[in-house]
Homo-oligomer: A and B are copies of this chain.
């Protein structure tokens, strides 16, 4: 088993779902999804139990889905309501239905045991609904990479100096130590680069030219949600850690969807505390972040190719790997717990106040 199943995974932004049938793949399973007449998003197994045709190739008849081969029809609970050519409905004529929860413009699907699905455990941040903050959906980056490698990159401040030297990082941070906290449900890694030149992002977006204090806080919520709180403030302010709101502060949120062993979708959005009604700023940030994420993509896809090749010797681990190592161990433990049916409580990637 490669995946934690009892967890909410992102199927897409709300705008991706409408009347049309849409195939979505999560944890190697194909789902057919659509927005029913009451506005709720429905997720069913995308495979007719008869001849296996994807139901997403069929058509909607009201709130039912009719298979495009022989017309077998299913309701939003996955129950078969019609088999053309016969009166009876076989007991085996059903498809799995998946719990769905939509919040803040994001559609989540529960991929595990349906009775364990609890909407209260869907990821949230108070800033999503705080008028002093501006939320902007970025894009959906497809990576030919395993989700563990993608997630690991999102709790790893140390790579920024080398992968993003002209956008999110610069040489000033190369040797600044990373702090790590792994005691709670969220794995956190952070560092401050004090009194140093601003990186490209904050030259362009924050307008800084003199030295700044810059922070990176990486919060990784198991299994697949990352929040990167980064920002800068005039170095003259000597900003304490808990007063980051006084600087230019941005949350970059990464919602990872493991599609398969070599395909992950990273849907990202950002929340910021300045220029909150400024669409041009949103676009500017999109452009800057998209450029940086393309740098990560190149690295992660190359690693994916290398991992598929024979190893000459065991890879080494170094000091900066602490948070990634803890993340991998927790995922392994969760998978093992599910495998042994000693499931305990479902994964709780709930909001933990970042300050």
Contacts and interface: CB of A to CB of B under 8 A. Distances in A.
Interface of A: 45, 47, 49-54, 57-58, 66-72, 83-86, 90, 92-93, 96, 158-159, 161-163, 174-175, 177-178, 298-299, 302-303, 306-307, 312-320
Contacts of A319: 83, 85-86
A53 B301 CA distance: 9
A149 to B, nearest CB: 8
Given A299-B57, A299-B68, A49 B83 contact: no
Contacts of A54: 302, 306
Contacts of A175: 84-85
Contact of A177 (B52, B72, B85, B312): B85
Contact of A92 (B86, B302, B316): B316
Contact of A53 (B45, B96, B178, B306): B306
A158 B47 contact: no
A68 B162 contact: yes
Give how many copies assemble into the complex: 3
Nearest to A305: B54
A45 B92 CA distance: 47
B85 A52 contact: no
27 contacts: A45-B312, A47-B306, A49-B315, A49-B316, A50-B315, A51-B315, A52-B306, A52-B307, A52-B315, A53-B306, A54-B302, A57-B302, A58-B162, A67-B162, A68-B162, A68-B163, A68-B299, A69-B159, A69-B163, A69-B299, A69-B303, A70-B318, A71-B162, A71-B174, A84-B320, A90-B316, A93-B316
B162 A303 contact: no
Contacts of A70: 158-159, 162, 318, 320
A45 B316 CA distance: 15
A90 B318 contact: yes
Contacts of A302: 53-54, 57
A122 to B, nearest CB: 25
A153 to B, nearest CB: 9
A303 B92 CA distance: 19
